[in-house]
């Protein structure tokens, strides 16, 4: 049994109860039993011998009507039972002091019973307990206990006690002795009397008293917990109040800062508005001048005068547009600053914006008015200028066309003579007259080029893009432009018709001349072949026999005709080849020569392909050696990678390794350059046949890919070695600077 956990003081044995000094334990237990009997639902406690009946600590008060929000009323002559606070768990502590009802809150200054330093004195043998004073007489009302009295401060206040009955959880016992016991002998007599009367024994009373003390200790603990909770709640309320005060202070500071910012914003807005007002006044003045200048556009009637006024307006309008643009550029990105925060600054900003937009609208309105008036005048002036220029160009082109047309007579005369000759001769022309016609027509075309350019220039000026400008806005200008367009078309048509006739005559004469030339060349070739036939016809019989054919093939084609091919040639004419079959003989010999050439080409191609394969294999073998050199360079560079970041600590080793890596990279590059040169020379021979060229191109491409891959590897290694060399040079410069600084 854990005494401390049950609310008892440590070291207190079961069955023992601490009683305040000067208090009779039996009287204390008796009052505790009376208090238990006074609980609601408990039977009345009968009187014991020697222990007069005692009034109950309290009696229930009859219910009385209460008003809304009023405290409950108590009937006269009744005692209100105490209510334990909720913080104590709702446990009701009976009053064992004889002073009436328990206080609503337990005092915290009275120590618990087990903290009493001195044990209660034992009464002398045969000494009876002092009778209670006259204040404790039986009374229907019991005075409430003082707030500073502990719940277990048991003081004898009464001389009599009502009859005691056992609680319902215990069996009833006999009546107790008639006189109250005192001391040890009295306690034994009381126990014997209680046993004889069938009532509870002192041991039971002690146990019940201990239970009351345990409940009292629990109430003290609950009271302490409640006080801690109240302290915690009070601390939280104080923290909330402090946080609220801090928030109010921050809010006040923020409000002051906002007020200061608003005042600063208003000052800035007023300054900006003053500057903008000056700019707007200048812009309004410029716009008024532009509007006054725009009014002058309505006075003149001639196009030239309108354009002059428009030019003068452009100068004034440019100044007005610049002033208006300056206003809007000043306002760009400053609208919020211009507005400010007060009603006055906002109203002034709105007024300034309205004035600036009004100035802009006035400038645009004046410019629009001038443009509307000046546009047709400008179009009319432009159209007149273009038409005058086009009229001059057309007049020059028409003169050139007349000159070309006059030269056409000479061409027509030469054409008539050439056609007459063609009809008169059996050959159908192609003689000197046709050649003269071709010459005259060529000269005519050359002389007509200038006229063609002039006419083409005039027509190009009247393309759809320029025709609208040439026509102008008035009907008179449109009619004039139509006449110019018709003149240009007529000149172009006459020139093209003339040139077409000359070109046709020239083409016919050229065909006749070319036919005659081909005829002459064919006659010359026939004479040459006849001479060759006679050259190899040694016997002059008009036939080429087998020996003469062999001599012809050897002399003209430089190869020996095979027996099978010669037998095929002589099969048609066993006596020999006549002159009329000489062309067929040349064709047969040509086929034989082609076969020989194809055979020779194939043999040459095979040899070339074999050479290409051999050279490619050699280059591949060389590239294998180059790859070994590249691998060596990469191995040297691979060591440099981790050393570069720590170059300052191992400068000598890094320098040695870098020199070795650079030597390996240079050697790899030399070998690679030689292999690359061989690979490039593999497919550049112009004497290669078609198949050999294709094969060489494929092999060269494959070798180039391998060489490129090796070059990339060498370049990567060179990059690392270069970085290492840069690191070494940097460290050397740092060391030199450090030495200079030390020497100084």
Q: pLDDT tens digits for 715-730?
A: 888 888 888 888 888 8
Tokens describing residue 505: 């005559």
Please say if the pLDDT value at position 603 is more than 70. yes
Per the model's pLDDT, the better-predicted residue between 160 and 450 turns out to be 450
Please say if the pLDDT value at position 470 is more than 60. yes
pLDDT category at 67 given cuts 50, 70, 90 is very low
- Mean pLDDT is lowest, of 149-163, 241-255, 326-340, 384-398, for 149-163
Tens-digit pLDDT profile for residues 650-704: 777 888 888 888 888 888 888 888 888 877 777 666 677 788 888 888 888 888 8
Q: Which pLDDT value is given to residue 130? A: 41
Please say if the pLDDT value at position 270 is more than 80. yes
Tens-digit pLDDT profile for residues 504-542: 888 988 888 888 888 888 888 888 888 888 888 888 888
pLDDT category at 254 given cuts 50, 70, 90 is very high
CA atoms 420, 425, 428, 434: torsion sign: negative
Please say if the pLDDT value at position 374 is more than 90. no
What span, in angstroms and rounded, lies between the C-alpha atoms of 26 and 194?
13
The mean pLDDT value for 243-263 works out to 91
Average pLDDT, the chain: 74
What span, in angstroms and rounded, lies between the C-alpha atoms of 438 and 411?
9
The mean pLDDT value for 378-394 works out to 89
Per the model's pLDDT, the better-predicted residue between 368 and 545 turns out to be 368
Residue 299 burial by Cβ neighbours in a 10 Å radius (0-12, 13-18, 19+): exposed
Q: Which pLDDT value is given to residue 557? A: 78
Q: Which pLDDT value is given to residue 744? A: 65
Q: Which pLDDT value is given to residue 35? A: 61
- Radius of gyration over alpha carbons of the chain, in Å? 70
Q: Which pLDDT value is given to residue 284? A: 92
Q: Which pLDDT value is given to residue 227? A: 93
Tokens describing residue 435: 């050649």
CATH fold for domain 605-743: Methane Monooxygenase Hydroxylase; Chain G, domain 1 (1.20.58)
What span, in angstroms and rounded, lies between the C-alpha atoms of 577 and 677?
58
Per the model's pLDDT, the better-predicted residue between 528 and 71 turns out to be 528
What span, in angstroms and rounded, lies between the C-alpha atoms of 395 and 593?
69
Tokens describing residue 234: 């009070």
- Mean pLDDT is lowest, of 124-128, 271-275, 530-534, for 124-128
Beta pairing, strands 543-544 & 577-578: antiparallel
The distance of Cα 462 from the centroid of its chain, to the nearest Å, equals 56
Tens-digit pLDDT profile for residues 12-48: 444 444 455 555 655 665 666 666 556 555 555 555 4
- Location of each CATH 1.20.58.70 domain in the chain: 605-743
Q: Which residue has the tokens 């909770």?
A: 229
The mean pLDDT value for 636-648 works out to 77
What span, in angstroms and rounded, lies between the C-alpha atoms of 283 and 278?
9
Q: Which pLDDT value is given to residue 82? A: 44
- Across-strand partners of 544? 577
Per the model's pLDDT, the better-predicted residue between 70 and 248 turns out to be 248
Q: Which pLDDT value is given to residue 251? A: 92
What span, in angstroms and rounded, lies between the C-alpha atoms of 278 and 273?
9
Per the model's pLDDT, the better-predicted residue between 316 and 75 turns out to be 316
Per the model's pLDDT, the better-predicted residue between 26 and 164 turns out to be 26
Please say if the pLDDT value at position 631 is more than 80. yes
Q: Which pLDDT value is given to residue 167? A: 44
Tens-digit pLDDT profile for residues 303-321: 888 888 888 888 888 999 9
Ramachandran quadrant class, 325 (left: phi over 0; alpha: psi -120 to 50; beta: rest): alpha
Q: What is the pTM of this model?
A: 0.37
Please say if the pLDDT value at position 232 is more than 90. yes
List phi, psi (to 5°) of 544: -110, 115
Q: Which pLDDT value is given to residue 192? A: 52
Residues 6+ apart with CB under 8 A from 54: 30, 31, 34, 98, 138, 158, 159, 160, 161, 162
Tens-digit pLDDT profile for residues 330-351: 988 888 888 888 888 889 999 9
Q: Which pLDDT value is given to residue 351? A: 92
DSSP for 400-447, written as a single string: HHHHHHHHHHHHHHHHHHHHHHHHHSTT-S-SHHHHHHHHHHHHHHHH
In this structure, are residues 340 and 270 in contact, taking their beta carbons and an 8 Å threshold? yes
Please say if the pLDDT value at position 245 is more than 90. yes
The mean pLDDT value for 632-656 works out to 79
DSSP for 531-591, written as a single string: HHHHHH-SS-SSEE-HHHHHHHHHHHT-SPPPHHHHHHHHHH-TT-EEGGGHHHHHHHHHH
Q: Which pLDDT value is given to residue 26? A: 57
The mean pLDDT value for 397-406 works out to 88
What span, in angstroms and rounded, lies between the C-alpha atoms of 402 and 495?
9
In this structure, are residues 623 and 707 in contact, taking their beta carbons and an 8 Å threshold? yes
Please say if the pLDDT value at position 143 is more than 50. no
Please say if the pLDDT value at position 170 is more than 50. no
- Across-strand partners of 51? 48
Please say if the pLDDT value at position 447 is more than 80. yes
The mean pLDDT value for 3-9 works out to 43
Per the model's pLDDT, the better-predicted residue between 364 and 1 turns out to be 364
DSSP for 361-411, written as a single string: HHHHHHHHHHHHHHHHHHHHHHHHHHHHHHHHHHHHHHHHHHHHHHHHHHH
Per the model's pLDDT, the better-predicted residue between 106 and 305 turns out to be 305
The mean pLDDT value for 90-98 works out to 41
What span, in angstroms and rounded, lies between the C-alpha atoms of 487 and 458?
10
Please say if the pLDDT value at position 177 is more than 60. no
The mean pLDDT value for 474-486 works out to 89
In this structure, are residues 462 and 470 in contact, taking their beta carbons and an 8 Å threshold? yes
Tens-digit pLDDT profile for residues 547-595: 888 888 888 877 777 777 777 777 777 677 888 888 888 888 888 888 8
697-709 burial: b if 16+ Cβ within 10 Å, else e = eebbeebeebbee
CB atoms inside a 10 Å sphere around CB 375: 13
What span, in angstroms and rounded, lies between the C-alpha atoms of 724 and 736?
18
Per the model's pLDDT, the better-predicted residue between 627 and 38 turns out to be 627
């Amino acid at each position: 049994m854990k005494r401390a956990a049950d609310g008892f003081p440590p070291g207190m044995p079961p069955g023992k109860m601490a009683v305040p000094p000067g208090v009779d334990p039996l009287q204390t237990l008796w009052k505790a039993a009376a208090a238990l009997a006074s609980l609601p639902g408990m039977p009345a406690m009968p009187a014991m011998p020697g222990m007069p009946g005692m009034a109950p600590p309290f009696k229930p008060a009859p219910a009385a009507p209460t008003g809304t929000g009023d405290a409950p009323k108590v009937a006269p002559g009744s005692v209100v039972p105490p209510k334990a606070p909720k913080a104590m768990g709702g446990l009701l502590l009976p009053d064992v002091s004889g002073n009436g009802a328990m206080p609503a809150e337990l005092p915290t200054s009275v120590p618990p019973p087990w903290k009493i330093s001195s044990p209660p004195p034992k009464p002398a043998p045969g000494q009876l307990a002092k009778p209670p004073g006259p204040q404790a007489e039986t009374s229907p009302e019991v005075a409430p206990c003082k707030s500073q009295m502990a719940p277990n401060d048991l003081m004898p206040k009464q001389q009599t006690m009502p009859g005691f009955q056992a609680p319902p959880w215990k069996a009833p016992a006999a009546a107790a002795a008639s006189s109250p016991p005192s001391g040890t002998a009295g306690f034994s007599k009381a126990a014997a009397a209680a046993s004889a009367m069938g009532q509870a024994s002192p041991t039971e009373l002690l146990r019940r008293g201990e239970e009351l003390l345990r409940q009292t200790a629990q109430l003290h603990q609950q009271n302490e917990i409640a006080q801690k909770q109240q302290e915690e709640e009070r601390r939280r309320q104080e923290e909330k109040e402090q946080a609220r005060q801090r928030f109010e202070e921050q809010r006040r500071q923020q409000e002051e800062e906002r007020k200061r910012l608003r005042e600063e914003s208003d000052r800035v807005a007023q300054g900006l508005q003053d500057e903008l007002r000056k700019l707007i006044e200048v812009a309004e003045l410029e716009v008024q001048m532009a509007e006054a200048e725009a009014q002058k556009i309505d006075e003149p009637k001639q196009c030239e005068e309108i354009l002059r006024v428009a030019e003068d307006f452009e100068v004034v309008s440019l100044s007005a547009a610049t002033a208006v643009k300056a206003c809007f550029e000043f306002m760009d990105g400053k609208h919020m600053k211009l507005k400010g925060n007060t009603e006055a600054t906002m109203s002034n900003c709105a007024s300034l914006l309205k004035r600036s937009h009004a100035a802009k609208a006035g400038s645009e309105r004046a410019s629009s008015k001038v443009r509307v008036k000046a546009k047709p005048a400008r179009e009319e002036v432009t159209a007149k200028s273009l038409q005058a220029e086009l009229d001059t160009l057309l007049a020059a082109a028409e003169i050139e066309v007349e000159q070309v047309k006059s030269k056409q007579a000479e061409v027509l005369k030469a054409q008539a003579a050439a056609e007459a000759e063609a009809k008169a001769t059996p050959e159908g022309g192609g003689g000197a007259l046709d050649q003269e016609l071709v010459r005259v027509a060529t000269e005519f075309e050359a002389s007509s080029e200038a006229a063609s350019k002039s006419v083409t220039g005039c027509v190009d000026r009247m393309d759809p893009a320029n025709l609208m400008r040439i026509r102008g806005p008035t009907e008179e200008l449109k009619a004039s432009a139509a006449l110019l367009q018709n003149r240009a078309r007529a000149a172009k048509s006459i020139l093209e018709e003339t040139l077409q006739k000359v070109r046709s005559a020239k083409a016919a004469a050229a065909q006749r001349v070319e036919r005659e030339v081909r005829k002459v060349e064919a006659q010359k070739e026939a004479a040459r072949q006849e001479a060759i036939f006679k050259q190899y016809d040694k016997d002059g019989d008009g036939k080429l026999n087998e020996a003469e054919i062999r001599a012809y093939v050897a002399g003209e084609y430089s190869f020996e005709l095979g027996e099978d091919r010669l037998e095929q040639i002589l099969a048609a004419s066993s006596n020999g080849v006549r002159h009329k079959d000489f062309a067929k003989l040349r064709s047969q010999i040509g086929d034989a020569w082609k076969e020989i050439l194809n055979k020779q080409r194939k043999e040459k191609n095979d040899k070339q392909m074999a050479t290409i394969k051999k050279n490619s294999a050699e280059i591949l073998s060389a590239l294998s050696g180059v790859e070994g050199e590249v691998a060596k360079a990469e191995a040297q560079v691979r060591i440099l990678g981790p050393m570069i970041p720590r170059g300052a600590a191992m400068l000598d080793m890094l320098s040695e390794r870098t020199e070795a890596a650079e030597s390996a990279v240079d050697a790899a590059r030399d070998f690679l350059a030689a292999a690359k040169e061989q690979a490039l020379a593999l497919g550049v021979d112009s004497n290669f046949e078609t198949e050999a060229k294709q094969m060489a191109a494929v092999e060269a491409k494959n070798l180039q890919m391998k060489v490129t891959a090796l070059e990339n590897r060498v370049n990567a290694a060179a990059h690392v070695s270069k970085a290492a060399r840069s690191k070494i040079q940097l460290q050397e410069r740092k060391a030199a600077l450090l030495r200079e600084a030390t020497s100084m």
